Amino acid sequence: MKRPTPYTASAQLYDVISFEWPVYRAGRAAAIDLLSLPTGSHVLDIGCGTGLNFSLLQQQIGPSGSITGVDASAQMLDQARRRSDSAGWSNVTLIEADATTVDAAELGDERRFDAAIATYALSLMAEWESALNTMIAATRPGGDVAVVDMQKPTGAAAVWTPLARLACRLGGSDIDAHPWTTMTRQLTEVRSASVRGGHIQVRVGSVLPD
């Protein structure tokens, strides 16, 4: 029996209830800006959800590139498919799979991706290290891996911590997971960004040569 995902029931409303535009869009944009992908790049989007990264990625990769979106929720992938069909993106492939258990080879030819990205997805996973390892294994040497996730706001913005904790709890995320912390050990040339009062953390690093 398949394990239900946090967004099975709310997939159709996710884009409305997720505070995407006032809060979380900024993290996606910061990560994809740091990736700075050349036209024609092939991108793996782990925990792609309803496809909220797709439009930003398409602006960089163009129709000659491709996006492979992976998510454990069939309902979220249905929304991602509708988004892609509506926009006419024929270069999007969607795979229903658990990112913590899927083998990189199941996502395509070994190390075929120029980049991999996970936005607000790893903190949903108890075994997020496995998903990050899959992202790295599926990305070619010299390619980039991007992680966007959440922590408690810092500095003056710390006053918003109770609200941030509530939002993460409602969404099923662990605000204390900090899944970007191992990237400096696994990748090289790690770049970072911090937005929305430090609540959103962005890390992008390059895969080491074999």
Distance CA 78, CA 71 (A): 10
Collapsing DSSP to helix, strand or coil, 116 comes out as strand
What is the pLDDT at residue 6?
Answer: 53
Q: Which of the two residues, 45 and 3, has the higher pLDDT score? A: 45
What is the pLDDT at residue 68?
Answer: 97
Pair of tokens at residue 85? 């069909």
Q: What is the pLDDT of residues 86-122, one digit of tens each?
A: 999 999 999 999 999 998 888 876 668 999 999 999 9
The percent of residues above 90 in pLDDT, for the chain, comes to 74
Distance CA 72, CA 209 (A): 30
- The β-bridge relationship of strands 42-46 and 66-71 is parallel
Contact 36, 206 (CB under 8 A): no
Q: What is the pLDDT of residues 183-208, one digit of tens each?
A: 999 999 999 999 988 899 999 999 99
Residue spans of the domains in the chain: they are 11-206
Span 163-180, average pLDDT: 89
What is the pLDDT at residue 166?
Answer: 87
Q: Is the pLDDT of residue 12 over 50?
A: no
Q: Which CATH number fits domain 11-206: 3.40.50.150, 3.40.50.300, 3.40.50.620, 3.40.50.720?
A: 3.40.50.150
Collapsing DSSP to helix, strand or coil, 86 comes out as helix
Strand ranges in 25-138 using DSSP code E only, listed in sequence order: 42-46, 66-71, 92-96, 113-119
Q: What is the pLDDT of residues 49-71, one digit of tens each?
A: 999 999 999 999 999 999 999 99
Q: What is the pLDDT of residues 148-166, one digit of tens each?
A: 999 999 999 899 899 888 8
Contact 202, 30 (CB under 8 A): yes
- The β-bridge relationship of strands 200-206 and 113-119 is unpaired
